[in-house]
Amino acid sequence: MNEGCVPTKAMIRSAEVMHLVARRAAEFGVEVEGSVKFNLARAVTRKDAIVQGILDGIYGALERRREAITFARGEARFLNDHEIDTGEGQLSFEKAIIATGARNVLPPINGITEIDYLTNRTALHIEQLPDSMVIIGGGYIGIEFAQMYSRFGTKVTLLGRNRHLAPGEDPELAALLADYLREEGIVVHTDTPVVSVQPDGSQKVVTGLVNGVATDFRADAVLLAAGRVANTERLDLGVAGISTDKRGFIQVDSQLQTNQPHIWAIGDVKGGWMFTHVATYDGPIAALNVVKGTGRTVDYRVVPRAIFSDPTLATVGLTEIEAQAQGYDGAVGSVPADGARAKAIGDNRGRLKAVVDNATGEILGFHILAPHGDDLLHEAVAAMHGHGPIERISKSIHVHPTLSEMVKAAARAAR
C-alpha cells in the first residue's frame, strides 16, 4: 500500500464532511444549532481503524499461504547479485523483485534541516491541529493536504514553484482548481520557489520569491510536498550490479527487468508514474515474467491519475498541449461540469475535456475537474484501451440524471 494513500483519503473524507456540515448544511435545508467542531482524535481513530483492517487483510493472506510463502521482516541489503542480508540472516535467490517504494525528498532549501517539518506521512499522525500551515509544493500531495487541513480549520498557505498547480496536467483545469482553493480561504501562490526557512520562536518563517520579490510567510507548521526519491540508498544495489539514475530510481525495461536479467523492479522504486494502482499493475506482469518467463510488457499509455481534491482533478493520456507537441491534429471537446445531476447535488464546479485525434477519432486523453471525477474518468480509461475511438463514449446511452452524462457531453463536443 502506497504510504499515506488510503490514510490520506480517509482523512480527506473527514474534511469533506466537516466542510459540508459547517459551511453548506443550511443550503440543503439542514439546520445546525450551535458551532460545528472538528474532533481530530476521532478522525485519526477512524483512519487508523481503516488502515489496520487493510493491513490485517494483507498479513492474513500471507499467513494463509505460509506453506508457499516465507515472510520475513527486516531491512534487506544485497551482498551480491544472488544473496541478501535481512538483518537476521542471509537469503540466497535465483530471481528477485525489488519493490521498496519511494519517499518525500528533502528539497535544497536553506535552513530546512533547522526546523521541525511535516511530511504527508507524519501530518496524518499529529495530535493537535496547528492554527496555521505553509505547504511547500503544488503537486497532488500539496493540493490534497492544503484543502484537507483548511477544512479542518487550519489557515493554509500553499506555495508551488511551477507556473500552475498540478504540473503536467491541463493548465486550464489546474487554474480553475487553484481558484476553487482560494475561494475556500487557502492562500495559493504559484511560480513561487522557496529559498529559505527559519525558526522564529514557536513558528517558522518561509521565504519564497513572489514575482521575484522575497516574501515571508509565517506559520505554526511547515509541510514538505516537493517531490520524491527512491528508497534504494540502503539496499547496496552497487554490489549487485543494479543500475539507478541520479535520484536512486532503478532503471528497468518494458518487462520491468533491471540490467541484471534475473532481477526485476516494480512500483515507485523505478520512478515514472508513482501511484499505488501502477504498482498493482506492475506486480502481476513482473511475477509472470519471473516465474513463467512470459515476456509480458507494460503499457503506460493509459495510466489514470487523480488528485483527490474537491472537486477532483482526474486525468488520463495526453493533454491538448502534449498532443500538439507530438504532432497530432487534435480536436478538443470541452464542456462545463454543470449537468443536471451536478446541479442537484449542489456542485457544478469544474470542466471536462476530451482530446481526440482528428484523423482517426482515437481518444488521446481525457481530463476531468468535477465532483467524483476519479470515478467518472474510468469510462474514458476503458474506452482508450485498444486505441478506442471517441464514439465508444459519445454514442453510448447514459442514465439520466447522472454525473457520467457530462463525460458523454465532452465526448460529443470533440467530434
85: buried, middle or exposed (CB in 10 Å: 19+, 13-18, 0-12)? middle
- H-assigned helices in 103-186: 140-152, 171-183
Angle at alpha carbon of residue 143, lines to 142 and 149, rounded to 5°: 85
- What is the b/e burial string over 338-368, where b = at least 16 CB atoms within 10 angstroms of the residue's CB? ebebbeeeebbbbbbbbbbbeeebbbbbbbb
Residue 262 φ then ψ, to 5°: -105, 10
**Rounded Cα–Cα distance for residues 58 and 1 (Å):** 10
**Cα 218 to Cα 3, 132, 155, 182, distances in angstroms:** 29, 8, 11, 18
Q: Are 275 and 266 in contact (CB under 8 A)?
A: no
- Helix 40-64 × helix 5-24 angle, to 10°: 150
Instruction: Count Cβ atoms below 10 Å from residue 191 Cβ, excluding itself.
Output: 16
With cell 443550503, the residue in question is 27
C-alpha cell at 361: 477519432
Q: Which residues pair with 355 in a beta bridge?
A: 332, 365
Spatial neighbors of 175 by CB under 8 A, at least 6 apart, are 164, 165
400 catalytic? Reply is yes
**Rounded Cα–Cα distance for residues 112 and 132 (Å):** 18
- DSSP string for residues in 36-72: ----HHHHHHHHHHHHHHHHHHHHHHHHHTTTT----
Q: Which of 125, 385, 387, 400 is catalytic?
A: 400
With cell 520557489, the residue in question is 193
C-alpha cell at 160: 508551488
**Rounded Cα–Cα distance for residues 119 and 88 (Å):** 30
Q: Are 136 and 222 in contact (CB under 8 A)?
A: yes
C-alpha cell at 403: 454525473
Pairing type for strands 96-98 and 263-265 reads parallel
245: buried, middle or exposed (CB in 10 Å: 19+, 13-18, 0-12)? exposed
Catalytic residue ranges: 400
